[in-house]
Amino acid sequence: MQVIIQNIIDALSLGSLFALTALGISLVFGIMRLVNFAHGDFISLGAYALIVPSASPTAIMYIGNWPALATIVAICAILILIAIVCERVAFKPLRGADPSVLMIASFAVSYFIQNAIIMIYGGRSKGVDLWPFLQVQVPVGGIRLQLLQLVTIASTIILLGLLTLFLHKLPIGRQMRAASENFTMARLLGVRANFVIAAAFGVSGFLAAVVSLLYVVQRGTLAYDVGAPLVMAGFVATVIGGMGSVFGAVLGGFFVGITNVFFQVMLPVSIRADRDAFVFAFVILILLIRPSGLIKVKSVEERV
Amino acid sequence: MTTATSDERMTMAAGDDRPLRVLHYFWEPLVLGLFLLGATLFINVCGGTVLMFTMTNILIEVVMVIGLYIFIGNSGIIAFGHITYAMIGAYADAWLTMTPFKKGFALSLPGFLANNQFPMLPAAIAAGVFSGVVALITALPLMRMRGIAISIGTFAVMVIFNTVYANWDAWTFGASTLVGIPIYVNDWVAFGWVIAALVVATLYQKSRFGLALRASRDDAVAARASGIRVYRERVLAFGLSAAFMGIGGLLKAHFIGSIAVSAFWIPETFILIAMLMIGGQRSLTGAVVGAVAVSVITEVLRQFEAGLQVANSTVQMPHGFSELGLAVMMLAILIVRSSGLTNGREVPWPFARRTNAAERNRAEAVARIEASGPGASEATAGSRLEARDISVRFDGLAAISNLNLSMGNNEIVGLIGPNGAGKTTMVNVLTGFQQATEGDVIINGETVTRLGPLQRTDRGVARTFQAVRLFRDLTVLENLEAAAIGTGLAGAAARKRAWDVLVWMNLDHKAYVRANSLAYGDERRVGLARALAMAPRFVFLDEPAAGTNDAECDELMALIARIPKRFGCGVLLIEHNMRLVMGVCDRICVIDSGSKIAEGAAADIQRHPEVIRAYLGTRSEKSRA
């Protein structure tokens, strides 16, 4: 029983991180057809922002030592800013370009950020100990679970709720949905393109901040490509969910997380290290059955 | 050019211009090869060991970027996972070429591989083929996806192979560096492979497979409607392209003497893609220029990292400077000149723009047309297309209800109706772009209702599009050739048919013009010509007269009227322009709100009360008062 519940919690907490990452990618894709490879590097930057910039091999906490709430606010603010700046500098001049060009541009941004991290913080990974109190095991109904995992799942649920409200109740949220349905038409009806796109990047930066904090507590180390596995999973999740569908991205994120834990548990020990290979192969199999993902988005399809 | 001179040229062409044609065919690899040869020679004579090392590296990069180009350049799909095939090639080659002693130290391979060492060249070829075959297999599921999802899928494939190779200790020494690979690659070996890559890439892109794939790159929908097996072409190119990635990977291994799984990951992918994009992803020239330019520039930036003497002071940049430089360069290129330094063009042909082969092709086409007279090909005689009780509903909204339509291969049928009547939907149903909710489409007795656009083209269906959808980066001639290839013709026969249609439509003077620089009227005529180049039994023309003036319309009318006789094919004309429809159609079918309201000869239709009501409306109560 303990094992089963532990596996379920593992799957949900991993799925949460993937879902939040996929969500950040999907929001931006929906509006400007950009598959943002640099989203993973936003996550890395959020983690690095916790420490004092230096190339020394040991990390000295700076923002990470602030009171938790202040840390959260600061990291969110930093990543929102970075995301918006990236959009202005790199993606705005390319607005309307082919999706593959945009994706390559984001690849360049990602390469830039990774090497900037190497330049400033050095290339080796560093240990960090953020919020050790989250690492404790808490008893829940007779079994012991890690507090961090529970926090991860809870904050994901809360964020998804808030985001739904944001997208449906607030004017800017509605404008974002309209823009992702039909960008040109939304503009003709008075939606300001710059504003909506900046908002999408802002929200995406905010989500990256949450993921980076949760992930850094779990991992305990910083590396310049710390966000890479997350962005890979996030990509696959958005494809599985159906490109451009926000709900699909969340679904896809949990799907990838659950698949991952499933293979972790079910594969024989000798090939367990190949788990990622199985996860990604399985994803490709799914796409063979449903090439447009779980949720098909009409605006992405081409009309004849 | 008059016919008199064309006769003269024909006799001239009969003289042997074969060497010139071969030169023209291999012009790009020749020039690019000579350029790299010059650079390699120069460095051999004047440079030191360090420069020779750099040059070898550049040449290996060129092989890989050409490999990448074969897929990306011709398909227009960005593949992010190609570096993984370099890894597969490098390891496969290591299994073949390491000495049994060294293999025994790190790997536990099966006896056949463990106890033998194979000669270098055959091993390299085998390893390249192996990585091509692996890629071909991975492409089977990948290419079923659409657009940007394919790009993401290639990432997934990279993760799969990377994970497997990093944990496959017995064959790859796991994540550790595998050392002891014989070092034999120098600048000349690498140069040899560059030439091989250049020649294969040229042969491929000028073959019917390459042309078909480039057509699909420009417009995948129109390519399918032209009978091009987009899926198959993508898979083939993916395999071929990965084979050269594999060669590049193994060259690197035999150059530095070791390989590690971690050296085939995202940063290496980025550098290759940056080279291709900066040079220009749509031309072989771009691939080579990009690889060389980026290598040279990053090499210079690295000198700054190491500390460079400028005037009297040392300029030193921190580690990572050259990478940042590359990223900025790449972004700048995307923003300022997204088609790269070469702008997607090849090395220009310096002699007369066309070889006289082109002139001869034209003259031959004229001769063929005159010889065949007005008669049509017999192959299509007696064909019949029928649509029975077709209904199409979108979420309950009936676009078409119980529509019947029938036509032979010798008549011109008009399909008219007000906006939103369901005309284009009907064409989509007939051509397989839209599945009918109910009813059947029958061609020559065979029910084709469930078949997609591609299978319909096999049964003689061709169409034009309201939005024209030419293959915009191909020339007019290539547009027609691609369509002819789609119907199964090979190179020379496809070219012949393309010329026949061009000459017949008086478009031959536009043969070498790129489709994206055509005037609007010509664009539409080329669209029609492309459909006819498929030698169809039935051709569906979706508003061919849209945006044309009266004179052009008259010309078009005369042209359409001649189609059934010339090509033995039935024409279904969807049109708003009454002049055209009334002037040319044998029979007219009028639909409104998805139902047929009248059918008959032009004169009857014009008097038909239902038709008048649909088009002009009835007198309302108010106006009667």
Q: What percent of chain B has pLDDT over 70?
A: 93
Mean of pLDDT over chain B: 88
pLDDT for res B349? 85
Helix (H) or strand (E) holding B439: strand B438-443
A85 touches chain B (CB under 8 A): no
Give the residue from B213, B148, B192, B215 showing the smallest Cα distance to B33.
Answer: B192
At B3, the pLDDT band (50, 70, 90 cuts) reads very low
| Residue B359 to residue B119: CA distance in whole angstroms | 49
Contact assessment for residue A256 and residue A233, using Cβ atoms and an 8 Å cutoff = yes
At A181, the pLDDT band (50, 70, 90 cuts) reads confident
Q: Count of CB contacts below 8 A, A vs B?
A: 135
Tell whether B350 is covered by a domain. no
The C-alpha of B23 sits at a distance from chain A's nearest C-alpha, in angstroms, of 34
With vertex at residue B351, the alpha carbon angle to CA B345 and CA B356, rounded to the nearest 5 degrees, is 105
| Residue B326 to residue B275: CA distance in whole angstroms | 9
Instruction: Give the phi and the psi of residue B407 in degrees, each rounded to 5.
Output: -150, 150
Question: What's the domain range around A261?
Answer: 2-300
Tell if the CB–CB gap between B326 and A111 is shorter than 8 Å. Answer: yes
pLDDT at B10 over 50: no
Q: Which chain A residue shows the shortest CA-CA distance from B149?
A: A239
Tell if the CB–CB gap between B78 and A97 is shorter than 8 Å. Answer: no
Q: How many domains does chain A have?
A: 1
Tell if the CB–CB gap between B153 and A302 is shorter than 8 Å. Answer: no
A129 touches chain B (CB under 8 A): no
Chain A contact probe: residue of B134, B150, B152, B425 with most A CBs at under 10 A: B152
Tell whether B162 is covered by a domain. yes
Name, of A84-88, A93-97, A261-265, B418-422, the range with top average pLDDT. A84-88
**Who wins on pLDDT, B378 or B507?**
B507
Q: Exposed (0-12), middle (13-18) or buried (19+): which is B35, by Cβ within 10 Å?
A: middle
- The mean pLDDT value for B436-452 works out to 90
pLDDT for res B4? 42
A267 touches chain B (CB under 8 A): no
Q: Which chain A residue shows the shortest CA-CA distance from B464?
A: A304
pLDDT at B5 over 80: no
> How would you classify residue A36: left for phi > 0, otherwise alpha for psi between -120 and 50, otherwise beta?
beta
Task: Please give the distance of CA A250 from its chain centroid, rounded to a whole number.
Answer: 10
- The mean pLDDT value for B460-484 works out to 93
pLDDT at B335 over 50: yes
Residues of B in contact with A53 (CB under 8 A): none
- CA dihedral in degrees (B55, B58, B64, B65; nearest 10)? -140
Tell me how far CA of residue A98 lies from CA of A32, A86, A101, B185, in angstroms. 10, 18, 5, 39
User: Using the 8-state DSSP alphabet, how is residue B452 labeled?
Assistant: -
Evaluated on CA atoms B89, B91, B93, B96, the torsion sign reads negative
B267 C-beta neighbours (distance < 10 Å), count: 15
pLDDT for res B625? 43
pLDDT for res B2? 41
Same domain, yes or no: B432 and B568: yes
Tell if the CB–CB gap between A94 and B319 is shorter than 8 Å. Answer: no
Facing residue for A280 by CB, picked from B146, B160, B273: B160
Boundary of a domain, candidates B265, B281, B298: B265
Tell whether B62 is covered by a domain. yes
* One-letter amino acid of A247: F
pLDDT at B482 over 90: yes
Q: What percent of chain A has pLDDT over 90?
A: 43
Tell if the CB–CB gap between B320 and A118 is shorter than 8 Å. Answer: yes
Question: Each residue of A226-259: pLDDT tens digit?
Answer: 898 899 999 989 988 888 788 899 999 999 999 9
Boundary of a domain, candidates B265, B286, B304: B265
A111 touches chain B (CB under 8 A): yes
Question: Each residue of B455-465: pLDDT tens digit?
Answer: 999 999 999 99
Give the residue from B544, B69, B22 showing the smallest Cα distance to B346.
Answer: B69
* One-letter amino acid of A238: T
pLDDT for res B85? 97
| Residue B151 to residue B155: CA distance in whole angstroms | 7
Task: Please give the distance of CA B547 from its chain centroid, rounded to a whole number.
Answer: 29
* One-letter amino acid of B275: M
| Residue A39 to residue B245: CA distance in whole angstroms | 28
Tell whether B381 is covered by a domain. yes
| Residue B350 to residue B157: CA distance in whole angstroms | 43
Q: What percent of chain B has pLDDT over 90?
A: 53
Pairing of strands B446-447, B595-600: unpaired
At B7, the pLDDT band (50, 70, 90 cuts) reads very low
**Who wins on pLDDT, B133 or A57?**
B133
Tell whether B353 is covered by a domain. no
- Find tokens 């010339």 and name the residue: B566
A294 touches chain B (CB under 8 A): no
Q: How many residues does chain B have?
A: 625
Chain B contact probe: residue of A240, A278, A287, A304 with most B CBs at under 10 A: A304
Facing residue for B327 by CB, picked from A93, A112, A293: A112
Residues of B in contact with A101 (CB under 8 A): 334, 338
Same domain, yes or no: B112 and B246: yes
pLDDT at B423 over 90: no
DSSP codes of every residue in B528-595 = HHHHHTT--SEEEEESTTTT--HHHHHHHHHHHHHHHHHH--EEEEE-S-HHHHHHH-SEEEEEETTE
Question: Each residue of B502-546: pLDDT tens digit?
Answer: 999 989 889 989 999 999 889 999 999 999 999 999 999 988 888
* One-letter amino acid of A184: T
Chain B contact probe: residue of A100, A109, A117, A267 with most B CBs at under 10 A: A100
Around A1, how many Cα atoms within 13 Å sit in the side-chain half-sphere?
5
Tell if the CB–CB gap between B144 and A288 is shorter than 8 Å. Answer: yes
Tell me how far CA of residue A289 lies from CA of A7, A118, A292, B140, B144, in angstroms. 27, 41, 9, 13, 10
Tell if the CB–CB gap between A35 and B148 is shorter than 8 Å. Answer: yes
Q: Which chain A residue shows the shortest CA-CA distance from B154?
A: A284
Boundary of a domain, candidates B242, B265, B288: B265
Q: Which of A53-67, B26-40, B414-428 has the lowest mean pLDDT?
A: A53-67
Same domain, yes or no: B28 and B162: yes
Tokens of A90: 């790199």
- Rg, Å, chain A Cα set: 19
Q: Which chain A residue shows the shortest CA-CA distance from B273?
A: A104
The C-alpha of B618 sits at a distance from chain A's nearest C-alpha, in angstroms, of 33
Beta strand residue intervals within A119-266, DSSP E: 126-127, 137-140, 143-146, 221-222
Same domain, yes or no: B573 and B439: yes
Contact assessment for residue B264 and residue B250, using Cβ atoms and an 8 Å cutoff = no
Question: What's the domain range around B443?
Answer: 374-460+536-618
Task: Please give the distance of CA B593 from its chain centroid, rounded to a whole number.
Answer: 38
pLDDT at B8 over 70: no
Facing residue for A112 by CB, picked from B76, B164, B324: B324
At A106, the pLDDT band (50, 70, 90 cuts) reads very high
Tell whether B306 is covered by a domain. no
Same domain, yes or no: B260 and B386: no
Tell if the CB–CB gap between A111 and B167 is shorter than 8 Å. Answer: no
Question: Each residue of B55-102: pLDDT tens digit?
Answer: 999 999 999 999 999 999 999 999 999 999 999 999 999 999 999 999
Task: Please give the distance of CA B573 from its chain centroid, rounded to a whole number.
Answer: 29
pLDDT at B6 over 60: no
DSSP H helices in A56-145:
68-86, 99-121
pLDDT at B150 over 50: yes
Q: Which of B63-67, B80-84, B352-356, B383-387 has the lowest mean pLDDT?
A: B352-356
- The mean pLDDT value for B28-51 works out to 92
Residues of A in contact with B166 (CB under 8 A): 273
Tell whether B342 is covered by a domain. no
The CATH number that applies at residue A112 is: 1.10.3470
Query: What does the buried/exposed string (b/e) look like for B489-522 if buried means 16 or more CB atoms within 10 Å of the residue's CB?
Result: beeeebbbbbbbbbbbbebbebbebbbeebeeeb
Tell me how far CA of residue A123 lies from CA of A37, B268, B299, B509, in angstroms. 20, 16, 20, 60
- CA dihedral in degrees (A237, A94, A166, A191; nearest 10)? -140
Q: Which of A105-119, A288-302, B319-333, B461-475 has the lowest mean pLDDT?
A: A288-302
Contact assessment for residue A32 and residue A183, using Cβ atoms and an 8 Å cutoff = yes
Question: Each residue of B548-599: pLDDT tens digit?
Answer: 888 888 888 999 999 988 888 899 999 888 888 888 999 999 988 888 888 8
Number of H helices, E strands in chain A: 11, 4
Residues of B in contact with A281 (CB under 8 A): 160
The CATH number that applies at residue B565 is: 3.40.50.300
Question: Each residue of B160-174: pLDDT tens digit?
Answer: 999 999 998 889 998
Tell if the CB–CB gap between B151 and A100 is shorter than 8 Å. Answer: yes
Q: How many domains does chain B have?
A: 2
A236 touches chain B (CB under 8 A): yes
A271 touches chain B (CB under 8 A): yes
- Contact residues for A216 (Cβ-Cβ < 8 A; gap 6+): A46, A47, A50, A128, A130, A222, A226
Tell if the CB–CB gap between B331 and A111 is shorter than 8 Å. Answer: no
Facing residue for A284 by CB, picked from B76, B78, B141: B141
At B353, the pLDDT band (50, 70, 90 cuts) reads low
* One-letter-per-residue 3-state SS of B241-308: HHHHHHHHHHHHHHHHCEECHHHCCHHHHHHHHHHHHHHCCCCHHHHHHHHHHHHHHHHHHHHHHHCE
Q: Which chain B residue shows the shortest CA-CA distance from A271?
A: B167
Facing residue for B156 by CB, picked from A33, A236, A292: A236
- The mean pLDDT value for B273-293 works out to 95
pLDDT at A150 over 80: yes
The C-alpha of B532 sits at a distance from chain A's nearest C-alpha, in angstroms, of 20
pLDDT at B381 over 70: no
pLDDT for res B379? 57
Contact assessment for residue A167 and residue A173, using Cβ atoms and an 8 Å cutoff = yes
Question: Each residue of B225-245: pLDDT tens digit?
Answer: 999 999 999 999 999 999 999
ipTM metric: 0.90
Tell if the CB–CB gap between B221 and A304 is shorter than 8 Å. Answer: yes
3-state class (DSSP) for residue A125: coil
- CA dihedral in degrees (B117, B179, B177, B187; nearest 10)? -90
Residues of A in contact with B338 (CB under 8 A): 94, 97, 101
- The mean pLDDT value for B250-277 works out to 94
Chain B contact probe: residue of A21, A104, A288 with most B CBs at under 10 A: A104
The C-alpha of A109 sits at a distance from chain B's nearest C-alpha, in angstroms, of 7
pLDDT for res B239? 97
